[in-house]
Amino acid sequence: MSSKRILIIEDEKPIREMIAFGLRRAGFEVAEAQDCRAGRTLLVDKRPDLILVDWMLPDMSGLEFTRQLKRDTSTRELPIILLTARAEETDKVAGLEGGADDYVTKPFSPRELVARINAVLRRATTDVAGEVLEFDGLHLDQAGHRVVAGDRAVILGPTEYRMLEFFMTHPERVYSREQLLDRVWGGNVYVEERTIDVHIRRLRKALEEFGYDRFVQTVRGAGYRFSTRAE
Stretch that binds Ca ion, among 8-16, 75-83, 173-181, 198-206 (CB under 5 A): 8-16
| Of residues 11 and 182, the one with the C-beta less far from Ca ion | 11
Binding of Ca ion at residue 91 (CB under 5 A)?
no
When the beta carbons of 83 and 196 are compared against Ca ion, the nearer one is 83
CB of 9 to Ca ion, least distance (A): 9
Distances (CA, A) of 39 to 26, 47, 65: 22, 11, 10
Determine the Cα–Cα distance for residues 100 and 159; give it in Å rounded to an integer.
33
What is the end-to-end Cα distance of the chain in Å, rounded?
A: 38
Instruction: Put residue 115 in one of left, alpha, beta given phi > 0 → left and psi -120 to 50 → alpha.
Output: alpha
**9-28: which residues touch Ca ion (CB under 5 A)?**
11
Q: From CA 95, how far away is CA 144, in angstroms rounded?
A: 34
**Minimum gap (Å) between residue 70 Cβ and Ca ion:** 20
Q: Which residue type occupies 110?
A: P
Is the backbone of residue 102 left (phi > 0), alpha (psi -120 to 50) or beta?
Answer: beta
For the segment 52-81, give every residue that binds Ca ion (CB under 5 A). 54, 56
Residue among 201, 199, 172 nearest 185 (CA): 199
Q: Does 35 bind Ca ion (CB under 5 A)?
A: no
Q: By CB neighbour count within 10 A (0-12 exposed, 13-18 middle, 19+ buried), where does 106 fall?
A: middle
Contact stretch for Ca ion (CB under 5 A) within 48-56, 111-119, 163-171, 178-186 = 48-56
Size of the site for Ca ion (CB under 5 A): 3
Quote the least distance from Cβ 60 to Ca ion, whole Å: 12
Nearer to Ca ion, 59 or 134 (CB): 59
Tell which positions 179-198 bind Ca ion, by CB under 5 A.
none
Q: What is the spatial distance between Cα 161 and Cα 166, in angstroms, rounded to a whole number?
A: 9
Nearer to Ca ion, 35 or 182 (CB): 35
Q: Which residues bind Ca ion (CB under 5 A)?
A: 11, 54, 56
